[in-house]
Amino acid sequence: MADIFSAQQTTQFIEEGFLRIDSAFPAELAEEARNMLWGNMPEDPHNPATWTRPVVRLGMFTAGPFVKAANTPLLHQAFDELAGPGKWLPCMAMGTFPVRFPSPEDPGDAGWHVDASFPGQHPDNFVDWRVNVRSKNRALLMLFLFSDVGEQDAPTRIRKGSHLDVAKLLQPAGEQGLSFMEIASRLDALPAREEVLATGKAGTVYLCHPFIAHAAQPHRGKEPRFLAQPPLLLKKELDIEKPATPVEMAIHLGLTR
């Protein structure tokens, strides 16, 4: 089977930290999933007057449409090409869903951050979770668009190339790494980076390096935005001393540049 990504795209992932795949899963699956998500909220999809909260967070979903969306042949091949065959675990749950509604209110969660990948001393406290230079447990950050997302529809903001700076930030912390809050508090001191918006049609997936800095933003559009951001979990530890995959190569590049 031919590679999905060209040599140029692979280099782009290593240097910029993400790739976008259009039609990574069928729009019909996205619609099925949205209907299930509406069923888990008091908001009425046909009555915007009930959309009184700027964001609603829904938990993990393991129903068919969610698992199928995460495990298309196209995505499996993409995981192989970026993380390495045999190095990742299939995604059998989709979550968390931050469902964002059109609102003039500040959602209160729009700060720049890097998603954590392993628990600290207090596993039940997410902000105490950690990231280390080997990206323990996590191969990719993934953004699954379950609705059409335009520039006004609260698209996730991505700092292009920030994963290289984060790798260098994590290096002195060794295996213990840094907590979610420790990293977030230091991101503004890193070099300025171009900002990209994760827009696209329902069925689009952004595959991002686990160290990429990203942020939410207020919704200024008209229709609710449905997005999931599950991790692609590691089956085998990354090798950043002898990198063989784009995920590993990116960390090595960040540490040596």
Tokens at residue 128, please? 């105490």
Give the model's confidence band at 168: pLDDT under 50 very low, under 70 low, under 90 confident, else very high.
very high
Q: What is the pLDDT of residues 218-237, one digit of tens each?
A: 999 999 999 999 999 999 99
Angstrom distance (rounded) from CA 54 to CA 48 = 12
Q: What is the pLDDT of residues 7-61, one digit of tens each?
A: 999 999 999 999 999 999 999 999 999 999 999 999 999 999 999 999 999 988 9
Any bridge partners for residue 149, and if so which? 200
Residue 196 lies in a domain: yes
Residue 122 lies in a domain: yes
Residue 109 lies in a domain: yes
Structural domains of the chain, count: 1
Residue 100 lies in a domain: yes
Residue 5 lies in a domain: no
Residue 23 lies in a domain: yes
Contact 113, 214 (CB under 8 A): yes
Q: 209 to each of 69, 176, 179, 201, how far by Cα in Å? A: 20, 20, 18, 21
Q: Is the dihedral of CA 73, 76, 82, 85 positive or negative?
A: negative
Residue 6 lies in a domain: no
Q: What CATH code is carried by the domain that includes residue 229?
A: 2.60.120.330
The predicted pLDDT at position 1 comes to: 66
Q: Which domain holds residue 18?
A: 11-256
Residue 2 lies in a domain: no
